[in-house]
Amino acid sequence: MAKRPNEFTEGDLDNLKNGERAGSTARLGEATTPVKDGMGEFEDPYEDEMESDEDVVEAGTASEMEEDEDEDGAMDVDTEAYRISRPQEPLKENEVLEPDPSAFHLLHNMGTKWPCLSFDVLQDSLGDNRQAYPATVFLVTGTQASKAKENEITVMKLSGLSRIKQDPEDSEDEDEDSDADEDSDPILESRHIPLNTTTNRIRTSPFSLQNSEYLTATMLETGSVNIYNVTPHLTSLESPGNPVPPTSNQPIASLSMHRGVEGYAIDWSPLIPQGRLLTGDNSGKIFHTTRNESGKFIAETSPFTGHTSSIEEIQWSPSERTVFASASADGTVKIWDVRQKNKKFVLSVDVSSSDVNVASWNPGTQHLLATGADDGVWAVWDLRTFSSSAGNVSAVASFSWHQQPITSVEWNSNDDTVVAVGSADSTVTLWNLAVEEDTEEGGKAGGAGDAPDQLMFEHFCEGVREVHWVKQVPGMVVATGEKGFSVFKTISV
């Protein structure tokens, strides 16, 4: 699939959407209402801010923004009607779906001047299993600006993420202190690294917090792989007043083994603290990069080959230090071992008749791999069924709810039965594979149409590109799309 749209316009993040199902899950198929004239226009939070390396933006409520249109507002909870194009039930012209606030614990959106094709969640020192509000999350992302020289890598701190306000009648039993949780204003602070090209994919080492070194690797449109240490930028956000040394904006490594061929596949090993990286490009080549004892990154000159089309995704095994999987536009998933001297795959399985865009290796149940394809199907595969003689195997679960290409898939690291999926149909869906199909009385929740029983929640993010869980805040999801970021936590997870 095409990884980047042909055109983007500057703007705000369009409104969001959800549905709710019976019980503790979200109900799908809310009633539609006409679009209100002039609804949904937000200010660009980065207007006139691009020259500064240190941006702090405080966003108020929607009413406050209407009172003062000249005041910057980066993030905002909006309870207006949300536009959505549901894959199974397309809305009529000038119709929207209204969100049910009771289905969310937290819902914020953040407009950006330029779209971000990719981002990663930074582990922080605030602790694990955080439940308190207001919440804080740190992100790193790269832009897709209309002019190459205006691009940047941005390290962001999103704080004051309050719990969504509930109907007083529905929250009589809540602690009075919860009022403070709901009234704080979300704040965006950011530090910038100037860049003269688009960032196709960005990933930070999973050992960043442990090593106190936030190694961040980028796959660039130019075909280069740059590695940055964004620790000074994060430190500056955690301790305001500490400037970022200009030298910290330079990459600690700039690798050219892809010889100008751009790509989108990149992954850090979850088992090698020192740093081990895989990158794949549009010519079907995969390169292995390691870090030596002196801290220098060294890329192998000979690639892993075997795919007949572009490499769309790479995933290291969560349990075997030398094993990784790749997904390709040739419709296959291949399993590799870096010890193979001939740099050829060990196993290859046809998983789709279309491009396989994304993949995620389950960190908890380590024989499961999720994939998402260009035909809108996402599936789960049992790697124990892969063999050298098995060109085609059957998925243990397969879902065709989305009618447009799957752009992101990720297992929840806090619950290995839950998956987040993003699609070009502008929806993020949350699934629970532990739910067994109910065959009695049709097996479907009332009002959900033909929605699968495993579908817990559906959320709108225009042109969604990537979706990630926030491991340290269980249940929190962040998505990036054509107009900006959405941060939410539902009652479903």
Higher pLDDT, residue 440 or 299:
299
pLDDT tier for residue 487 given thresholds of 50, 70 and 90: very high
Instruction: Look at 365 and 32; give whichever has higher pLDDT.
Output: 365
Number of domains in the chain: 1
Given a contact cutoff of 8 angstroms between Cβ atoms, the answer to whether 227 and 255 are in contact is: yes
Residue 102 pLDDT level (bands cut at 50, 70, 90): confident
The vertex-58 CA angle with 242 and 81, nearest 5°, equals: 145
Q: What is the mean pLDDT of the chain?
A: 82
Residue (of 465, 469, 258) closest to 372 by Cα position: 465
Per-residue DSSP letter, 27 = B
Dihedral Cα 437, 411, 462, 326, nearest 10 deg: -110
Q: pLDDT tens-digit profile of 234-280?
A: 999 999 888 999 999 999 999 999 999 999 999 999 999 999 999 99
Which range, of 70-79, 96-105, 222-231, averages the lowest pLDDT? 70-79
Whether 83 maps to a domain, the answer reads: yes
- Has residue 173 got a pLDDT over 90? no
Residue 183 falls inside a structural domain? yes
Residue 43's pLDDT is: 32
Determine the Cα–Cα distance for residues 356 and 350; give it in Å rounded to an integer. 10
Parallel/antiparallel/unpaired status of strands 95-97 and 104-111: unpaired
**What percent of the chain is predicted at pLDDT more than 90?**
67
Contact present, 419 and 433 (Cβ < 8 Å):
yes
- Please tell me the distance from the alpha carbon of residue 468 to that of residue 489, in angstroms, as a whole number: 12
As a whole number of angstroms, the distance between CA 217 and CA 253 comes to 9
Please write the tens of the pLDDT for every residue from 293-340: 999 999 999 999 999 999 999 999 999 999 999 999 999 999 999 999
Contact 225, 209 (CB under 8 A): no
Q: What angle do CA 244, 76, 493 make, to 5 degrees?
A: 95
8-40: per-residue pLDDT in tens?
444 333 332 233 332 223 333 333 333 333 323
CATH code at 56?
2.130.10.10
pLDDT tier at 343, thresholds 50, 70, 90: very high
Asked if 18 contacts 99 with a C-beta cutoff of 8 angstroms, the reply is: yes
Distance, in Å, from the CA atom of 223 to the CA atom of 279, rounded to the nearest integer, reads 10
Beta partners for residue 477, in sequence order: 469, 488
- What is d(CA 134, CA 49) in angstroms, rounded to the nearest whole number? 26
Using pLDDT thresholds of 50, 70 and 90, give the confidence band for residue 46: very low
Asked whether 324 and 266 are in contact (CB, 8 A), the reply is no
Average pLDDT over residues 451-480: 96
CB atoms within 10 A of CB 134: 19
Of the candidates 321, 337, 203, the residue with the CA atom closest to the CA atom of residue 272: 321
Give the Cα separation of 467 and 458 in Å (integer). 13
- Residue 452, pLDDT > 50, answer yes
Q: Is residue 14 part of a domain?
A: no
Tokens of residue 54, six digits: 């240190």
Which residue would you say has higher pLDDT here, 30 or 469?
A: 469
pLDDT band at 167 (very low <50, low <70, confident <90, very high): low
In a domain, 27, yes or no: no
For residue 4, tell me if it sits in a domain.
no
> What pLDDT does residue 63 have?
33
HSE (side-chain half, CA atoms, 13 Å) at 365: 17
From the list 343, 328, 318, the residue with the least C-alpha distance to 280 is: 328
Query: Worst-scoring range by mean pLDDT, 66-75, 155-164, 205-214, 375-384?
Result: 66-75
* pLDDT score recorded for residue 175: 55
What is the rounded average pLDDT of the residues 29-57? 37
Domain annotation covers residue 24: no
Q: Which domain holds residue 452?
A: 32-490
Dihedrals phi, psi of 236, to nearest 5 degrees: -65, -35
Closest CA to 313 of 281, 345, 339, 336: 281
Would you state the pLDDT for residue 392? 73
Choose the weakest-confidence range: 37-51, 208-222, 443-457. 37-51
pLDDT score at 438: 64
Question: Residue 182, SS3?
Answer: helix
| Domain presence at residue 12 | no
With cut-offs at 50, 70 and 90, classify the pLDDT of residue 90.
low
Contact call for residues 159 and 74 (beta carbons, < 8 A): no
33, β-bridge pairs: 96
